[in-house]
Amino acid sequence: MNENEILAMYEDAGALLNGHFVLSSGRHSSRYLQSALVLMNISHATALAAELISKVSDEEIDMVVSPAIGGLVIGQEVARQLNKPFIFTERKEGEMQLRRGFSIPEGTRLLVVEDVITTGGSVRECMVVVREHGGTPIKVLAVVDRAPDAEGRFDVPFATAISLSVETHDPSDCPLCREGVLPAIKPGSRGAA
Ligand SMILES: [Zn+2]
C-alpha cells in the first residue's frame, strides 16, 4: 500500500476529523486522526499491520508491546501476523506501568507498536517500562507519524506507514480559540491523537 491509499482509507472511514481539538500533548489542532475508526475494519487492520511488518527487515523480534489504548489494536494484529506474544503497558494514576501479570524475560527483544505518534511521549514511557523489566526495544513502528519533522524522538529506529504533518498550537496562542471556534474537544484517549 502506498501513502495515498492509506490516507484514502482514513478519509473513507471518516477518521480524518476537522474542527478544534485538544491533543494528548495538550496542544490544540484543527485536525484529528481517529485511527480506531480505521482499525475497526478488520481488513484495514490486517493490511496496515502487514505494511508495518514490511518495515522490519532482519531484526530478531521475540515480542510485541504497545502503549494502551491507542496501540492495542494495531499492536495485537502485528503480533498475530508475526506469531509473537503481545503485551501492553498502560497508565495507572498517570504513570505508565506493566500490569495484568505480564512479564518480560531478561533479554527479550521487543517491537514497539503505536497507532499515531506525535511527540512520542507514550512510546518513550512504554520503552522505559520495557527496559525496567529487562526487555530491549528494537524498533518503533507506528501507522501515522503526525510530526515527521520532529527529530530524535526515540533512541531506536523508527518507521511509519504514512507521515501526515498537522499544525498544532499552544493553547495560549491558538488561532481557533481566538476565532472562538468552540468547543475545543478531546476526542480520544491519550496516545490516540
Ligand atoms: Zn484552541
Distance from the alpha carbon of residue 18 to the mean position of ligand 1, in angstroms: 13
Structural domains for the chain: 3-178 (3.40.50.2020)
Residue 36 has pLDDT above 80, yes or no: yes
Q: Which parts of the chain fold into alpha helices (H)?
A: 3-12, 36-39, 42-53, 72-82, 121-132, 175-178
Residue 33 has pLDDT above 90, yes or no: no
Q: How confident is the model at residue 188 (pLDDT cuts 50, 70, 90)?
A: low
Annotated binding site for orotate: 118, 146
pLDDT in tens, 55-97: 998 889 999 999 999 999 999 999 999 999 999 999 999 999 9
Distance from the alpha carbon of residue 153 to the mean position of ligand 1, in angstroms: 25
Distance from the alpha carbon of residue 176 to the mean position of ligand 1, in angstroms: 5
- In the chain, DSSP assigns E strands to 16-22, 28-33, 63-67, 86-92, 95-98, 109-117, 136-145, 158-163, 168-169
Q: What is the pLDDT of residue 95?
A: 95
Distance from the alpha carbon of residue 185 to the mean position of ligand 1, in angstroms: 9
Annotated binding site for 5-phospho-alpha-D-ribose 1-diphosphate: 91-92, 114-122
| Three-class SS state of 130 | helix
- What's the mean pLDDT in 182-193? 58
Q: How confident is the model at residue 191 (pLDDT cuts 50, 70, 90)?
A: very low
Q: What is the pTM of this model?
A: 0.87
Mean pLDDT value across the chain:
91
